[in-house]
Amino acid sequence: MPVSKMVGAKVKRREDPRLISGLAHYVDDIILPNTLHVAILRSPYAHARIKSIETDAALKQPGVVAVITGAEIRDKIGLIPVASDNPSLRVPKHYVLAVDKVCYVGEGVVAAVAEDRYAARDALDLIRVDYEPLPAVSDPEKALAAGSPVIHSEWPDNVAFRWSLKQGNLAGAFKEAHKVVRQRLVHQRLAPIAIEPRGVLARYLPGEKELTLWSSTQIPHLLKTQLSLMLKLPENHVRVIAPEVGGGFGSKLNVYAEEGLIGYLALKLNRPVKWIEGRRENIQTTIHGRGQVGEAEVAVKKDGTILGLQYKVIADIGAYHQLLTPGIPPLTGLMLSGSYKIPAIAMEITGVFTNKMATDAYRGAGRPEATYVVERMMDRVAQELGMMPVEIRKKNFPMPKEFPFKTATGLAYDSGNYQAALDKALKLAGYEKLRREQKKLRSQGRYLGIGLSTYVEICAMGPSAAMPAGGWEYGAVRVEPTGKVTVLTGVSPHGQGQETSFAQIVADQLGVDLDDITVIHGDTSVVPSGIGTFGSRATAVGGTAIYQAAEKVKEKAREIAAHLFEADPEDLNFSEGRFSVKGVPKKGLTIQQIALEAHMARKLPKKMEPGLSATSVFEPSNFTFPFGTHICVVEVEPQTGRVEIKKYVAVDDCGRVINPLLVDGQIQGGIAQGLGQALFEEVVYDENGQLLTSSLMDYALPRAVDLPHLDLARTETPTPVNPLGVKGVGEAGTIGSTPAIVNAVVDALVPFGVTHIDMPLKPEKIWRLCQTKEPAQARGGR
């Protein structure tokens, strides 16, 4: 990279003023004349046959325009898509509104369309659905047991798919092992809870034959393709716009029933149609994350060298697949080597249907599960061997010179220096002093715990060969006649701040003022193609496309300048946005001046096309692998089970940093969500599949007061995978934090003989564990 000014600078988010002052336009802020509104009657049962539906009374209600059942539209709208190349995958028919049967609480059954939202909602109360309740199963382990209720009659075993991975001499590893440590691990279901729920607005123009669909989505381009297939419309007559999107965390990396349904209704009724999700619907029918129950086994030598790891896991799929449902648990498999040299690894996944909402990608998507398994097991193994957590980790790290480091799971970690991040975190935390304090406090009956997580994750998704629908990204840079720079990106930021960071990249490349650059995203008719924002890919893949496009623009400008100066392009200097002839610094033109020449096109080199713009599609050669160390210090009160976080240190390495403020923000938000999983978040269904955490009065999200002060620091190990050297940071905080917090709480409770606690670490669980045994006398540390 050239010497830079903007890249690496703490530039404030340019997005924030409009967000903070309420001037942004989310789906619900887009008002079209004559719009109809939709409310959806949803199943109150986890499993039931639909015997009959009576809609006449609703239809007669003033303001009600249409009442639509699943049976009426089953042949008109395609099935909700799932992207997977797993040959064992079983795909139940997933209609946009239930046909004959409902399989989870919240499944859409009838849509009421009315002149306003109130009339639409009132209409739902007048619809009579006669259900015949069926036995339901919500626990994935029970769903596998003989005699379980069957969710889809084609597959009486409730198995949705199987997936396995086996590399290295596992049998040998377990035979040779000094010890084998086993642990059952539960990754509870979580609700992503973006602050803006989903929402869809659709408009069909019969003259132009164009369907425009505004959706709160992370993937407008993929949605456009899928929507055209679902609605059997030519793809070049479909336009998808992701306006301002209020967070996603993976939950909007999907194609949902309502997107197909609302698009269809706009076509059918020939009026704009809008549906805005309520928070209860959001918890019921927007995908959930995690949902794995597994058994991990680690074979280890006496000196702490890990020989092998085996993880058998049941993945709780829910009743149907959403877009990437079957693709998430295998990501756990791929990352099971963690940041360690583990010569033999095996994983077996059984995806299981349950009478619940589908699981899919939620911030981290499979990697938090892997990191949790590996980091929890490292502590378990250390405890069994009488080693310290730091010691066992250092023992098994690959050395910096071993990169690219090939794992038994078939990945090649691009670059890394795991020791450096760990050492920096230990120093920042004052680790040795903390251990002494822990010993002292234990002798006073106070329980301090220190937890580590030395994670590695997989980002920048990814090489197209490894992705279900392309892993490249599109970028374009155009210098307008007036010198302003328009940047188009195929990624779809929804809070990440790339309107700022991409402008920083372009500002440096073209030497243009940041205020002269605008970054446009999210409209398939403005940005010709793209994949979207997920998998911490936007900057590493999309940012690189922008960087390459800017590079092309610069080279074209150089040719034009050389032509105008009658000089050789090689004889031009480029500095601060200005080309000048070497040795004649006064003779020069800025890129912005050249843009006008390029558009006037009177004095261009022969055969050169007018205009000053370029596009680039970047196809990454590999994933990237950010890493780091999180250290959490807690105090646990055995009498009440309360956990207080006393200190939190995170050293993250996401490669080269474009904007430290954005990176810190991502880490902070990620830690908040990781903390939520560790301590209190959980989607709870009862055994009959009723959702018990259906509002934020029962589903506990972390709040500002729950967060400790975060000591954030970085190491910077650039990736060789892209010219920017950036790895990605959107999910690192979530991935790194959860095991650090759980390890800290378990460490605090060692005197009580505790070796493991399943998340969330709610006070009652901790209290119960502390009841079973009198605390051992302080021996200090472990």
Partner 1 sequence: MIPAPFDYVRPTTLDEAIRLLAANGDEAKLLAGGHSLLPLVKLRLANPKILIDLSRISGLSGIRQEGDQIIIGALTTHYEIESSELLKQACPLLPETARMIGDVQVRNRGTIGGSLAHADPAADLPAAILALGAELRLTGSDDERWIKGEDFFLDLMTTVLKPTEIITEIRVPVLSGRFGTAYLKMPQKASGFAIVGVAVWIKVEDKACTAIGVGVTGLGAKPFRAKEVEKKLWGKRIDHTFIDADASHVDHGIDPLDDIHASAPFRAHLARVYTHRAIQEAVKRAGVSMPSR
What mask, x for binding partner 1 by CB under 8 A, covers residues 86 to 115?
------------------------------
Q: How far is the CB of 38 from partner 1 (least distance, A)?
A: 12
Q: Could you count the other beta carbons within 10 Å of the beta carbon of residue 115?
A: 16
Stretches 137-145, 217-225, 229-237, 687-695: which one binds partner 1 (CB under 8 A)? Answer: 687-695
Residue with smaller CB distance to partner 1, 295 or 637: 637
Q: How many CA atoms lie within 13 A of 392 on its CB side?
A: 26
| Dihedral sign computed on CA atoms, order 375, 380, 384, 390 | positive
Q: Which of 275, 353, 680, 752 binds partner 1 (CB under 8 A)?
A: 680
Residue 640 in contact with partner 1, rule: CB under 8 A = yes
Task: By CB under 8 A, name the one of 693, 720, 781, 782 that touches partner 1.
Answer: 693
Site for partner 1 contains 763 (CB under 8 A) = yes
Question: CA-to-CA distance for 450 and 633, rounded, in angstroms?
Answer: 5
Is residue 618 within the footprint of partner 1 (CB under 8 A)?
no
Name the H helices within 539-688.
544-565, 591-600, 660-679
Q: How far is the CB of 743 from partner 1 (least distance, A)?
A: 21
Please, what is the minimum distance in Å from the beta carbon of residue 29 to partner 1? 17
C-alpha 448/C-alpha 429 separation (Å) is 14
Return the SS3 of 328: helix
Applying CB under 8 A, among 579, 648, 699, 752 the residue interacting with partner 1 is 699
How many Cβ atoms are within 10 Å of 445's Cβ, its own excluded? Answer: 10
Task: Name the CA radius of gyration of the chain, rounded.
Answer: 28
Return d(Cα 746, Cα 766) in angstroms, integer.
9
Which residues contact residue 446 at a Cβ distance below 8 angstroms, ignoring those fewer than 6 apart?
Answer: 635
Selected binder of partner 1 within 568, 692, 776, 779 (CB under 8 A): 692
- In the complex, the smallest distance separating the C-beta of residue 339 from partner 1, rounded to whole angstroms, is 32
List the beta strands (DSSP E) in 480-612.
485-489, 517-520, 572-575, 578-581, 584-590
| Binder among 121, 142, 558, 756 for partner 1 (CB under 8 A) | 121
**The two structure tokens encoding residue 559:** 């040719």
Minimum separation from the CB atom of position 667 to partner 1 (A) = 23
Residues 484-543 that bind partner 1 (CB under 8 A): none
- Residue appearing with tokens 């015949």: 132
Q: Decide: is 696 part of the binding site for partner 1 (CB under 8 A).
A: yes
Stretch near partner 1 under the rule CB under 8 A, chosen from 66-74, 146-154, 294-302, 763-771: 763-771
Contact status: 642 vs partner 1 (CB under 8 A): yes
Interacting residues with partner 1 between 254 and 313 (CB under 8 A): 278-280
Span from 310-318, 565-573, 586-594, 695-703 in contact with partner 1 (CB under 8 A): 695-703
Q: Does 687 bind partner 1 (CB under 8 A)?
A: no
Q: What own/partner pairs with CB < 8 Å and gap ≥ 24 does 526-530 have?
A: 526/488, 527/221, 527/474, 527/476, 527/488, 527/489, 527/490, 528/474, 528/476, 528/488, 528/615, 529/221, 529/474, 529/490, 529/617, 530/220, 530/221, 530/473, 530/474, 530/489, 530/490, 530/491, 530/492
* 195 or 697: CB nearest partner 1: 697
Output 118 or 155, the one with its CB closest to partner 1: 118
The site that binds partner 1 (CB under 8 A) totals a number of residues, namely: 28
Footprint of partner 1 on residues 22-51 (CB under 8 A)? 39
Contact between 484 and 641 under an 8 Å Cβ cutoff? The reply is no
Residues 6+ apart with CB under 8 A from 585: 573
> Which span (363-371, 395-403, 514-522, 634-642) binds partner 1, by CB under 8 A?
634-642
**Three-state SS for 449?**
strand
Residue 607 or 703: the one with the smaller Cβ distance to partner 1 is 703
Region near partner 1 per CB under 8 A, out of 28-36, 608-616, 742-750, 760-768: 760-768
Q: Which residue blocks in 139-236 are alpha helix, DSSP H?
A: 140-144, 170-176, 220-231
Closer by beta carbon to partner 1, 397 or else 699: 699
Q: Are 409 and 336 in contact (CB under 8 A)?
A: yes
Residue among 535, 380, 402 at smallest CA distance from 457: 535
Residue selected from 482, 701, 755, 780 as contacting partner 1 according to rule CB under 8 A = 701
Query: Which residue in the set 59, 180, 700, 707 belongs to the binding site for partner 1 (CB under 8 A)?
Result: 700
* Beta strands at 584-590 and 578-581: parallel, antiparallel or unpaired: antiparallel
Site for partner 1 contains 235 (CB under 8 A): no
Query: Does position 118 bind partner 1 by CB under 8 A?
Result: yes
Q: Which residues sit at the interface with partner 1, rule CB under 8 A? A: 39, 117-118, 121-122, 125, 278-280, 639-640, 642, 680, 684, 692-693, 695-701, 762-764, 767-768
